[in-house]
A and B are shown apart, each in its own frame.
Chain A
Amino acid sequence: MRFAGILQTGTTALSRNVVRTLLTMLGIVIGVAAVITMMEIGKGATLAIQRTLTSIGANTLVVIPGAQNVGGINYGVGSQTTLTPNDAAAIVQRCQAVENAAPVVRARTQIVYGNRNWVPTYVYGSTASFLRVRDWTTMEEGESFTDHDVRNASKVCVVGRTIVRELFAGQSPIGKEIRVRSVAFKVIGVLSPKGANAMGLDQDDILLAPWTTIKYRIVASSLSTGNQSVTNTTNVTEVNSLSQLYPNITTSLYPTQSSNELADVPQPIRFANVDQILVNARSARDVPQAIEQITNTVRDTHHLRPGEANDFTVRDMTEITNAMSATTELITRLLLYVAMIALVVGGVGIMNIMLVSVTERTREIGLRMAVGAEPNDILEQFLTEAIVICLAGGLIGILVGRGASIVVTKVLHWPTASSLGAIVAAVAVSATVGVSFGFYPAWKGSRLDPIEALRYE
């Protein structure tokens, strides 16, 4: 029997009892619609969560210089001075998986405005792309510095909410000048509040300036291990040596040079090294790829021979990324399972109705067998009916599901994202439900004894 013939027999049989067919279909319609809506809501939620997590740096990578080892003494990670702003430029240029990269120079020092002073958690020197890397482009007031400011080592800065509170008592700092180690910085922007990071550090406690300014005007010949304030500012421990647990202050062998002497003997300027390069990958999924590309690029710019160890490390926010993927996966799966249950219930409904239908049409089966239908023909006939119900239900379900997710977006303002995968899966699932739940009744019908079936009242 040709397929068109079977299909026709199936649809004719179904059109005989329209109400029942529609009610049976309803189970599948609801199931498929649920699957699609849930998958779309799940996908929307995933995207929303991804967006949120991106703002706390899920796809952020940090390139830090490696450890320097001199004469058996390891100076710790970050002590190499080989990482340069050029590496950042090369990373942006050559790595496809990378969206932005920003070199960072750190300092830890006191800042002063009027009669107030404060030591921010972060005094960062970077480029304009820093805020893009950190997904922090919204300014509360004013604007960020530009690449031009970076080239000129302009004495401008943007500050976080906390600094505004501590130094300016909440007043607008735009246009005011902050002194950072006796260098006056003009405040040109206030960053929008971001809160604490995953480690509990206040991210709003930041002063951000062009890296050239920080590097050349503040930190000077920084080796940048983060303890500059100890050596360069007035040190309490020198006054009160009682708190000194270990005598680690070495006796100076030579008299200290005065500033005049220092100026008289200029040190050869080495290339400008930076403390780290912040990179953001295009998406959290691109992170592994980005790591590989960055490693290759920086090895190349540092002229490392094959076999030579990296003089830098690329770190990713594995913890955050894992948390993110675990969360979204859990949500999507949970929603899918719930929707699957609806589909199974729909399938059971179909099985139920098909069993009734087979019983009801026992005589028809007997007659068809008497005039020459083989068991397989009967099986095909009833299976086709079940599949037609499921596919038709699936198609209606797709429309209902899409409609429902549009309504959800419009009314509840939940994010949804249409997914072709969901639609394909729904069609495949409804066909599978048709076959699997339609098979038993169809098989039962095909095993009927024609004599018994003909006699059935």
Chain B
Amino acid sequence: MTTLIDMHDVTKTYRMGEVELPVLKGVSLAVNEGELVTLMGASGSGKSTLMNVLGCLDHPTSGEYYLDGREVSRFGARERARLRNRSIGFVFQSFNLLPRMTALENVGMPLTYSRERLTDREKRERAAEMLAKVGLGDRAGHQPSQLSGGEQQRVAIARALINHPRLLLADEPTGNLDSVRSQEILRMIEDLNRTEGITVVLVTHDPAVAGHTRRTVRMKDGLIEEAEKAA
């Protein structure tokens, strides 16, 4: 088992004028490839900031962050953009699908920024394949407004997977869904983790959601309080 995420004493401090606001106060975290980790914590505990750092949307103030053996904490904006495109998939609480674009176009959107030289046709085929994988092969031409919440989130998952990322970051993916749909989405994420071997970091408030995973990381006041292995 190789270590995919390796964080050493990462801090993040926001400056608001004169005041410095430390949000992460020295987080160390290691996640092996293929793991499914739940990140829990009260609001304001720093989990969103940690997710941003994990997802290379933001760089830490200090500390080191190795993703797949490469120190990404020193990457510039362009390198991080490429890394996000190639190695990281995002699933958001509010789906963040682009309105007035079909499900197929939404799924294929990240390919536009891919370094791979794909023809339009290849792009469409790959997007269709991903949609089929999340069980929405027959909804390719629908716009987000014509889809239910659960379906929208599945489109978002297909979009996150289109570039075959190593890491999937899901920020409260079930926050806007009812319990039945939530179960569906969680099961899908678990399946992806198990069958495809994609490493997943899942942020949630819901202890029931956390129950699905073997490992739960709790955050409090910018520090990781405990990392437990569930049975």
Interface residues of A (CB under 8 A from B): 1, 5, 9, 12, 16, 363-364, 366-377, 450-451, 454
Decide if B58 touches A451 in the complex (CB within 8 Å).
Answer: yes
Decide if A370 touches B112 in the complex (CB within 8 Å).
Answer: no
CB distance from A456 to the nearest CB of B (A): 11
New A-B pairs, 13, CB < 8 Å, besides A369-B57, A373-B85: A369-B81, A370-B90, A371-B90, A372-B81, A374-B77, A374-B78, A374-B81, A374-B82, A375-B77, A377-B113, A450-B57, A451-B57, A454-B57
Decide if A370 touches B84 in the complex (CB within 8 Å).
Answer: yes
Give the residues from 38 to 67 in chain B that come closer than 8 angstroms, CB to CB, to chain A. 52, 55, 57-58
A367 to B77, CA, bound (A): 15
CB distance from B172 to the nearest CB of A (A): 13
A12 to B77, CA, bound (A): 27
Q: Is B215 an interface residue (CB 8 A)?
A: no
CB distance from A89 to the nearest CB of B (A): 73
A374 to B77, CA, bound (A): 8
A74 to B112, CA, bound (A): 88
CB distance from B99 to the nearest CB of A (A): 8
Residues of chain B contacted by A1 (CB below 8 angstroms): 112-113
Q: Mark B141-164, 1 if CB is under 8 A from A, else 0.
A: 000000000000000000100010
CB distance from B155 to the nearest CB of A (A): 13
Give 3 nearest A-B pairs by CB, closest first: A372-B85, A371-B110, A372-B113
A1 to B159, CA, bound (A): 18
A-B residue pair count with CB separations less than 8 angstroms: 58
Residue ID in chain A nearest B92 by CB atoms: A454
Residue ID in chain B nearest A453 by CB atoms: B57
Decide if B84 touches A371 in the complex (CB within 8 Å).
Answer: yes
Which of B113, B114, B159, B163 has the most chain A CB within a 10 Å cutoff?
B113
CB distance from A10 to the nearest CB of B (A): 12
A368 to B96, CA, bound (A): 10
Tell me whether A371 and B159 are in contact in the complex, defined as CB-CB below 8 angstroms, given that A16-B100, A364-B98, A450-B57 are known contacts.
yes
A372 to B83, CA, bound (A): 7
**Contact count band on B:** 20 to 34
Q: Is B177 an interface residue (CB 8 A)?
A: no
Which of A369, A372, A376, A451 has the most chain B CB within a 10 Å cutoff?
A372
Give the residues from 61 to 98 in chain B that come closer than 8 angstroms, CB to CB, to chain A. 77-78, 81-82, 84-86, 90, 92, 96, 98
Q: Is B5 an interface residue (CB 8 A)?
A: no
Residue ID in chain B nearest A17 by CB atoms: B100
Which of A12, A374, A450, A454 is B113 in contact with, Cβ under 8 Å? Answer: A374
Residue ID in chain B nearest A366 by CB atoms: B96
CB distance from A362 to the nearest CB of B (A): 12
Residues of chain A contacted by B100 (CB below 8 angstroms): 16
Residues of chain B contacted by A5 (CB below 8 angstroms): 112, 120
CB distance from B203 to the nearest CB of A (A): 14
Interface pairs (10), CB distance under 8 Å: A5-B120, A367-B96, A370-B57, A370-B84, A371-B84, A371-B110, A374-B77, A375-B81, A377-B113, A454-B92
A363 to B144, CA, bound (A): 15
CB distance from B133 to the nearest CB of A (A): 18
CB distance from B5 to the nearest CB of A (A): 18
CB distance from A2 to the nearest CB of B (A): 8
Residues of chain A contacted by B85 (CB below 8 angstroms): 371-373
Q: Is B136 an interface residue (CB 8 A)?
A: no
A454 to B98, CA, bound (A): 12
Which of B57, B92, B101, B163 is A12 in contact with, Cβ under 8 Å? Answer: B101
Residues of chain B contacted by A371 (CB below 8 angstroms): 84-85, 90, 109-110, 113, 159
Residues of chain B contacted by A367 (CB below 8 angstroms): 96, 98
A1 to B78, CA, bound (A): 14
